[in-house]
Structure 1
Amino acid sequence: MNLFSILLIGIAMSTDAFAAAVGKGAAMRRPRFSEALRAGLIFGVIEAITPVIGWLLGTAASRYITAWDHWIAFAVLGLLGLHMIWNGTRPDDGAEEAPRRHGFWSLAATGLGTSIDAMAVGVSLAFLDAPIGLVAAVIGLCTLVMVTAGIMLGRVLGALAGKRAEIVGGAIMILIGAAILYEHLTGAA
């Protein structure tokens, strides 16, 4: 496996996290770069750990992981998306502001939901004798950059769209989960 292939894997594994980060950034009230970087670090670490876990599980558990990973991602992202939509449709009484930052557990749950497919990639890498440490580091770094950029882009979109941005962000998260589910059920690449 060459470095270009590893970079492509890193980019591919971070695109759904980027889309989720845009939704998270849109839901925040003017996130600062430090908050975007914090979210990027949380997502990046989770995204780097999951392929290693998958790689460690190896061939013995591969059929179980690949049989359920898409359902787990769909459920986690779907529930988070529905929660965001629910928050976006609640009347704004003026007393409640958009969060300055999302809590650790909210970011970690979203990061886990977008990284389940990376675990399945880790399982497949066990068959290829790939340098899992390098692959995991590249996936984590790509995710860090993409999520940080996504939060900052969401900041702009959130300022323009207000609470509608949270509804759109929730819908995006549901669509990501549905796309993961569709891809796995139909074998689409």
Structure 2
Amino acid sequence: MSLFTIIFIAIGLSIDSLAASISMGACATRIRKREVFRIASYMALFQGGMPVIGWLVGSSFKSVVQACDHWIAFSLLLFIGGKLIFDGIRFDANKACGTMGHTSKYSHWMLMGVALATSIDAMIVGVGFALEEVNITLAMAIIALITFTFSSVGVTLGRKLGNKINSGIEIFGGVVLIAIGVKILISHLCM
């Protein structure tokens, strides 16, 4: 898998964290730079770490599924991309602050829960990374860096714009992941 593809996967995976960060920024009564850094750090840690877990799982059964690994990678990216598109379509800006509430500082447990919830798909992609023999250290670093950047920008945008842009971002991320899945499938079928 090329570096370019890993970067696009990282962008697609970071979309959930971006959307959550926009919501946290929109729901915050005020946000300081330290809180932006804190939110982005949680998101990056989980989003970058979860593919490693998936990679370990995928590596353990890689030899069993090697003949159809491209179909598995395609299916996983199609599922995750479809979920992002679905979530983007049904996003309700009026309910976005419902579970988080309005606050000036989010608790450790709240941030951990949001970061975990938005990074489950990254663990599934990690399985695909194992099947595609991706350098997991490089992938983890790229995903964490892009997620940190997106989340920092997201909190700031959320504070300024509110939840108005969340649904479009999730739909875009879903399309990117599906396109990558199709690219993986086509490249393996045309070999």
Q: CA deviation at 1:103?
A: 5.7
Q: Distance in 1 between matches of 2:137 and 2:97?
A: 44
The residue type paired with residue 46 of structure 2 is: I
Instruction: Find out whether 1:62 has 2:70 as its counterpart.
Output: no
Instruction: Find out whether 1:146 has 2:142 as its counterpart.
Output: no
Distance 1:116 1:157, change over 3 A: same
Distance 1:13 1:53, change over 3 A: farther
Distance 1:65 1:109, change over 3 A: farther
Distance 1:7 1:151, change over 3 A: same
Deviations 1:49-80 (A, max 9, x none): 32333233223212344313322333234334
Partner of 1:183: 183
Q: CA deviation at 1:117?
A: 4.1
Partner of 1:113: 121
Gaps of 5+ in 2: 26-30
TM-score normalised to structure 1 length: 0.68
- State the percentage of identical aligned residues: 13
Q: Are 1:6 and 1:138, in contact at CA under 8 Å, matched by a contact in 2?
A: no
Distance 1:94 1:124, change over 3 A: closer
**In the comparison of the two structures, how many residue pairs are matched?**
176
Distance 1:17 1:98, change over 3 A: farther
Partner of 1:25: 21
Gaps of 5+ in 1: 126-131
Distance 1:122 1:72, change over 3 A: closer
Choose the corresponding residue for 2:77, options 69, 73, 77. Answer: 73
